[in-house]
Chain A
């Protein structure tokens, strides 16, 4: 027979026992639907997490803080005290009001980090700066988290750009401040100025700085801190702490498009110098680890459902072979070979898998069509039009092909049995 004849014969055969075929396919649908939903959810969540993370960290940014030197290593993992390295009490007016100790880095650390192979630039991390408020024209005064903006920031903004070298008072505001400032769109705020008040404790005094909005961050669920031009934030830190030579962290930059393996090398180089380094990969891994575990667990459930479906196929086809003994005998008498008969039943088994896969994936996609807008309105607000349930075509095709392969494997036993039927026995049966 020709391949289209095999396929047509298999479909005709499946339609002969509609209820039985329906139930067998249904068992498959449960498995493939679950699998498609798990895939949709983990894929969607992964891209959601990635867009969220991209507002925080760039692949070439490495956060450096004080770690332990190899000589401090203890068997418990808690580093030994070393008088020349550890906690210096920050000067008055610091972020912790001088009462708590914080690990401090200085200019020498900055030069050491800069000298590390693979690092192209390093800046003091001023994210310990606390501002009092930010105000736009005559709107309310709002609190705001701030951090320094570095020359290579590559986050895709919803409007504008990062402060250029000739914009020493630039600020990139988080998306939610657009509404807070009473603006109808991000672009409306570009070029406008805001007032930022900073206070110091010793001596107690306040100062108001003026910053010009150069950009607006993307609309992500969790808003990161605003980015201030490095010169502006340095002036603020100088005012608040009386010094810009001590800081709790260093933001080091590798070249753009730095490879993952390179990042790992830089990380270990920094660690051997006694620093703690957090790369983009650490950030991603922290978020993706639980996701991977959960989706692996759910995939396991789907696999069990598919296993049950497999038993259904074996059962259905064994029954079919038994019922169609005479027909198989006739086909053999008329000149169909063993392997032709076997192939008919393999195609039938693969068809059950195919329909189970197609229906399961289609149902899952319908669920996505209905659920995505609802999820965006309720649970995952503030992510714009990013879909929580994503259906990459290659994955969905993979599920359907996988279901066909499972069907084929399950169909092997009945199909081989059909091929081996003795035509005489089959024809003698009344």
Chain B
């Protein structure tokens, strides 16, 4: 059993079913896991095995059908919409395979989006965004449109955006999925470097075995269950 006292995130018997009645599909069938603060964890498995579903549940983006998730001693399942969104806004960073940068905004504006949502003053958020962009070495592109950038650069902006609220945990869903292997390697190196530097907990969904080996812990999922 995961030890909830020393873990940042602990999940017990997580289940998630989609659809109703004749159409029911069990995406997750009883997952148990525990992540310690500052640790990195890889969730690996084939496409459709339930990796993203699990990540969404751990990040408070979706509700499990049954089971429990404890964040720092507090149950996510007991939180209301306001508490969950506030948790994601202040304590979580997200990195997606498709980057999800806003085409209408500049690199700088994309970077400080979480702070803008939080209602941080324009001066403060610009300053923090500059620091974050500096960290991913993209400060010179701050005023460019996100659409002007290459894939690798876009994912680095996404990393800056994930870092800006100084999160406890960064969730990355196949962050290298849309990048060639060399660029992917650079992005991952940067991600690990920043994770170590700021002592951030990192959860990476991937089907890259080499990437998984670099993590402190690996969870292998098949058909919604953890396999050894």
Contact = CB atoms under 8 A, between A and B. Distances in A.
A335 interface: yes
Interface of B: 52, 56, 59, 61-62, 81-82, 85-86, 88-90, 94, 96, 98, 100, 102, 104-105, 113-114, 116-119, 121, 161
A16 B104 contact: yes
B118 A335 contact: yes
Contacts of A2: 119, 121
Contacts of B62: 424
B90 A326 contact: no
B104 A334 contact: no
B35 to A, nearest CB: 19
Query: Which 7 pairs between the two chains have the least Cβ-Cβ distance?
Result: A335-B89, A335-B88, A330-B100, A336-B117, A334-B114, A337-B85, A335-B85
A179 interface: no
B100 A427 contact: yes
A12 interface: yes
B159 to A, nearest CB: 14
A216 to B, nearest CB: 64
B117 A335 contact: yes
Contact of A12 (B52, B98, B104): B104
Contacts of A337: 81-82, 85
Nearest to B105: A12
A377 B21 CA distance: 80
| A334, A336, A337: residue with the most chain B Cβ atoms closer than 10 Å | A334
Contacts of B104: 12-13, 16
A330 B119 CA distance: 17
Given A330-B102, A340-B117, 15 more contacts: A1-B117, A1-B119, A5-B116, A12-B104, A16-B104, A326-B100, A332-B85, A334-B94, A334-B114, A335-B117, A337-B81, A337-B82, A338-B81, A424-B56, A427-B96
B61 A333 contact: yes
Contacts of B117: 1, 331, 334-336, 340
A1 B85 contact: no
Contacts of B116: 1, 5
Nearest to B102: A327
A44 interface: no
B88 A333 contact: yes
28 contacts: A1-B116, A1-B117, A1-B119, A2-B119, A5-B116, A12-B104, A13-B104, A326-B100, A330-B100, A330-B102, A331-B113, A332-B85, A333-B88, A334-B89, A334-B94, A334-B161, A335-B85, A335-B89, A335-B90, A335-B118, A336-B85, A336-B89, A337-B81, A337-B82, A338-B81, A340-B117, A427-B61, A430-B98
A327 to B, nearest CB: 6
A90 B96 CA distance: 103
Interface in A312-348: 326-327, 330-338, 340
Given A2-B119, A340-B117, A335 B98 contact: no
Nearest to B63: A424
B219 to A, nearest CB: 20
A153 to B, nearest CB: 65
Contacts of B56: 424
A315 B121 CA distance: 34
A248 to B, nearest CB: 78
Contacts of A428: 52
A118 interface: no
| A333, A335, A336: residue with the most chain B Cβ atoms closer than 10 Å | A335
Nearest to B86: A335
Nearest to A430: B98
Interface string A395-430: 000000000000000000000000000011001101
A43 B101 CA distance: 52
Contacts of A427: 61, 96, 100
A341 to B, nearest CB: 10
A327 B59 CA distance: 18
A387 B11 CA distance: 76
B200 to A, nearest CB: 17
A36 B85 CA distance: 45
Nearest to A335: B89
A218 to B, nearest CB: 58
A333 B102 contact: no
A330 B59 CA distance: 13
A341 B58 CA distance: 23
A211 B59 CA distance: 99
A340 B94 CA distance: 20
A413 to B, nearest CB: 21
Contact of A334 (B81, B98, B113): B113
B114 A335 contact: yes
A23 B118 CA distance: 34
Contacts of B89: 334-336
Contacts of B119: 1-2
Contacts of B114: 334-335
Contacts of B105: 12
Contacts of A332: 85
A330 B161 CA distance: 12
Nearest to A336: B117
Nearest to B100: A330
